[in-house]
Amino acid sequence: MAFFTVLAAVALEHLRPLRQPLPHYQQYARFTQWLEQKFNANAFSHGAIAWGLAVVPLLLGVWLIDRLLGHISPFLGWIWNVAVLYFTLGFKYFSDDAERIAQRLRAGELDAARVQLGAWRGGDTSQFSADEVARVTIEQVMAASHRQMFGVLLWFVLLVPFGPVGAVLFRTASILARRWVTTQGYFGLFAQRAYHAINWLPLRLTGLTYAIAGNFEDATFCWRTQAGSWPELEDGVVLAAGAGAMGIRLGQAIHVGGETVWRPELGSAQTDPDADSIDSAVSMIWRGLVIWMVAGLLVVIAGWIA
- Condensed to tens digits (0 to 9), the pLDDT of residues 208-235 reads 999 999 999 999 999 999 988 898 878 8
Taking residue 149's Cβ as centre, other Cβ atoms within 10 Å add up to: 25
Cβ contact 111:298 at 8 Å: no
Cβ contact 220:254 at 8 Å: no
Position 127 scores a pLDDT of 87
Position 283 scores a pLDDT of 94
The average pLDDT across 140-154 equals: 93
The average pLDDT across 9-14 equals: 90
User: Angle 224-166-77 (CA atoms, 0-180°, nearest 5)?
Assistant: 145
Position 255 scores a pLDDT of 83
- CA distances to 86, 238, 294 from 36, rounded to whole Å, are 28, 29, 42
Which of the two residues, 260 and 54, has the higher pLDDT score?
54
Which of the two residues, 123 and 167, has the higher pLDDT score?
167
**Coil, strand or helix: which one is 19?**
coil
The average pLDDT across 247-261 equals: 85
In this predicted structure, the answer to whether residue 19 has a pLDDT above a threshold of 80 is: no
- With residue 261 as reference, give the H or E element that holds it: strand 259-261
The average pLDDT across 176-184 equals: 79
The average pLDDT across 67-78 equals: 94
In this predicted structure, the answer to whether residue 306 has a pLDDT above a threshold of 70 is: no
What is the domain count for the chain? 1
Position 284 scores a pLDDT of 94
pLDDT digits (tens, 9 = 90+) for 75-103: 999 999 999 999 999 888 788 889 999 99
- CA distances to 19, 161, 306 from 249, rounded to whole Å, are 30, 41, 46
Closest CA to 240 of 229, 226, 257, 254: 226
In this predicted structure, the answer to whether residue 281 has a pLDDT above a threshold of 90 is: yes
DSSP string, 39-64: H-SS-HHHHHHHHHHHHHHHHHHHHH
Cβ contact 175:24 at 8 Å: no
Which of the two residues, 110 and 181, has the higher pLDDT score?
110
- pTM, two decimals, is 0.92
Model confidence band, residue 299 (pLDDT cutoffs 50, 70, 90): confident
Task: Specify the length of the chain in residues.
Answer: 306
Mean pLDDT across the chain, nearest whole number? 90
Model confidence band, residue 193 (pLDDT cutoffs 50, 70, 90): very high
Q: For residues 28 and 175, give the distance between their C-alpha atoms in angstroms, rounded to a whole number.
A: 9
Cβ contact 159:131 at 8 Å: no
The domain of 276 spans: 2-17+25-305
**Coil, strand or helix: which one is 259?**
strand
Closest CA to 139 of 252, 223, 220, 224: 252
